[in-house]
Copies of this chain bind each other. A is one copy, B any other.
């Protein structure tokens, strides 16, 4: 059975000291979400995650979702857990109060998601997709559509999906072929096949609201001719009751490497004359709406990297303390727990330090998400939006890639037991593997970061961020002891590495766009490592402040030691990555296709 201890102490520390939660609670609209209330909410959320969701994680993996004749059955226990999840109000935590949500800050929604995901990633995807659909409707739906669909989606009575992918249209949504033909009554007849639809069919809720990308007959080719439609599984009558079954059918579900509990559906629209759909927003602007909403989805997937690493870490740590094997290398005849072996400790520290770095960066970016939405000053909102836009591909790309590596270390620490499925370590690794793929692969995040977020604006936000990093570096100079000196130097070198890479891009973009693109992924990795180290360093200074103020809890000393470890073991990769960015294109682009 999966056990999960919500890391509330580190979460609270990161929330308050790194992401400066008190400033979020002070934003207009969030006044009620006081730090005290949030502490209580997170404690309850942690209990739900550990007591209700975590016990179903392994059974969800083992049994998986099952398809039979168009119907999908979720694993044993999921239905009851989902009922409780909705009834307890967790589904609408981050949704607007207007439609029945709790209206809590996005940041708090993110923390809760981290916990759901660690406890049971397969379960968490249902509510995540619903939240995405709710946000898309909030952003671009008419009041009519909102009032008809949102209350039940926010409460969790109905769930939502996002229908983008088709067999020939994955990363390249311009190739979408699903058709939407306008009808006399203002509705549309939708027909086509969508694949990889998460929770596209299931038995958790009485209705499923599909958001579907499709083309109207007059739509231009490519990405500019895509519109967004609501296609409910059951049509909804004007009085809100459920009407006819719509013409959408789950043809099959995929047999996947992981997240077995989450049904990944092939949906056929319009096999019997066309599914009834309703246009969301304006025609041909579907992709634009999807992209606005996608920021949230990508951020959430970034959290999955953290979650899988956290779950893997907790399991590996428990095993390392309990498994007795070998003697202490410094001497002694007695067999010792393997945590005593320096290499096991190194692996645990790689996990711990990178989890804390990823969490710090994600929460810091999450806070900016709220500041971008709610800050009273428009210039501040803009500044934070720019920061969020820059950081989302980093949080998504870097955290998910790192999540896989750390889940792999979790397997490794278990030795042979890690390879046995019953142990549960392997599940984190398998589940983590999807997160670098869906909602845009790492390569796509890297291109988004470099071309859309940096080059398009000539690096202005990046320069601002580098300025903030320099500020942190100068603050680090004021801190006592050798650990901070090491941290300061490593961060300084990391920032220099980013600047070197940036200078290369600036001088190359007009001459050789392929050489720039060849460096995108190593640059994303570099940005993640350095930005994570930056936020970790801010946390270490906050910990030092606590110590200065007389705090004796070892937690604070450990924060500093963990950051120092990160400097020596992770930030130390920055130079090599900058080298690869600035020199690596020739090798990447040298071969003809047939020479591979």
Name A residues whose Cβ lies closer than 8 Å to a Cβ of B.
165, 168-172, 175, 195-196, 254-258, 317, 321, 324-326, 329-330, 335, 337, 339-349, 352-353, 404, 408, 411-412, 415-416, 418-422, 426, 429-430, 433-434, 436-438, 441-443, 446-447, 483, 486, 513-514, 517-518, 520-522, 554-555, 557-558, 561-562, 564-569, 572-577, 579-580, 583-596
Whether B517 contacts A591 by the Cβ 8 Å rule is no
Choose one: B419, B517, B569; the contact of A258 (CB below 8 Å).
B419
Q: CA separation between A196 and B420, bound complex, in Å? A: 10
Whether A518 contacts B588 by the Cβ 8 Å rule is no
Write 14 A-B pairs (CB below 8 A) sorted by A numbering: A165-B416, A171-B415, A254-B419, A257-B420, A317-B596, A329-B513, A412-B442, A419-B434, A554-B592, A558-B591, A562-B587, A562-B591, A564-B586, A575-B576
With a cutoff of 8 Å between Cβ atoms, the chain B residues found around residue A344 in the complex are 443
Whether A568 contacts B587 by the Cβ 8 Å rule is yes
State how many angstroms separate the Cβ of A438 from the closest Cβ of chain B. Answer: 7
Known: A255-B420, A342-B517, A441-B412. Is A171-B596 also a contact (CB below 8 A)? no
Choose one: B171, B345, B555, B585; the contact of A326 (CB below 8 Å).
B171
Whether B587 contacts A349 by the Cβ 8 Å rule is yes
With a cutoff of 8 Å between Cβ atoms, the chain B residues found around residue A353 in the complex are 587
With CB as the reference atom, state the residue of chain B lying closest to A578: B572
Known: A342-B518, A343-B446, A419-B258. Is A590-B572 also a contact (CB below 8 A)? no
State how many angstroms separate the Cβ of A266 from the closest Cβ of chain B. Answer: 11
With a cutoff of 8 Å between Cβ atoms, the chain B residues found around residue A555 in the complex are 595
Whether A422 contacts B171 by the Cβ 8 Å rule is no
With a cutoff of 8 Å between Cβ atoms, the chain B residues found around residue A255 in the complex are 420-422
Whether A170 contacts B257 by the Cβ 8 Å rule is no
Q: CA separation between A151 and B335, bound complex, in Å? A: 41
Q: CA separation between A567 and B195, bound complex, in Å? A: 40
14 further A-B contacts with Cβ under 8 Å, apart from A344-B443, A569-B584, are A168-B324, A171-B326, A254-B419, A255-B421, A317-B596, A341-B443, A342-B514, A411-B433, A430-B430, A554-B594, A558-B591, A561-B590, A564-B587, A572-B577
With a cutoff of 8 Å between Cβ atoms, the chain B residues found around residue A430 in the complex are 257, 430
State how many angstroms separate the Cβ of A520 from the closest Cβ of chain B. Answer: 6
With a cutoff of 8 Å between Cβ atoms, the chain B residues found around residue A257 in the complex are 411, 419-421, 426, 429-430
State how many angstroms separate the Cβ of A271 from the closest Cβ of chain B. Answer: 23
Q: CA separation between A405 and B71, bound complex, in Å? A: 37
Q: CA separation between A429 and B404, bound complex, in Å? A: 12
Whether B437 contacts A412 by the Cβ 8 Å rule is yes
State how many angstroms separate the Cβ of A522 from the closest Cβ of chain B. Answer: 8
Whether B593 contacts A565 by the Cβ 8 Å rule is no
Question: Of A165, A196, A580, which is in contact with the most chain B CB atoms at under 10 Å from its CB?
Answer: A580
With a cutoff of 8 Å between Cβ atoms, the chain B residues found around residue A348 in the complex are 596
Whether B568 contacts A579 by the Cβ 8 Å rule is yes
Known: A404-B408, A419-B433, A437-B419. Is A589-B256 also a contact (CB below 8 A)? no
Known: A172-B326, A317-B596. Is A416-B443 also a contact (CB below 8 A)? no
Q: CA separation between A436 and B419, bound complex, in Å? A: 11
Q: CA separation between A583 and B566, bound complex, in Å? A: 11
State how many angstroms separate the Cβ of A573 from the closest Cβ of chain B. Answer: 5
Q: CA separation between A342 and B517, bound complex, in Å? A: 6
Q: CA separation between A583 and B443, bound complex, in Å? A: 32
With a cutoff of 8 Å between Cβ atoms, the chain B residues found around residue A170 in the complex are 325, 415-416
Q: CA separation between A421 and B415, bound complex, in Å? A: 25
With CB as the reference atom, state the residue of chain B lying closest to A574: B576
Whether B591 contacts A420 by the Cβ 8 Å rule is no
With a cutoff of 8 Å between Cβ atoms, the chain B residues found around residue A565 in the complex are 584, 587-588, 590
With CB as the reference atom, state the residue of chain B lying closest to A560: B590
With a cutoff of 8 Å between Cβ atoms, the chain B residues found around residue A345 in the complex are 518, 588-589, 591
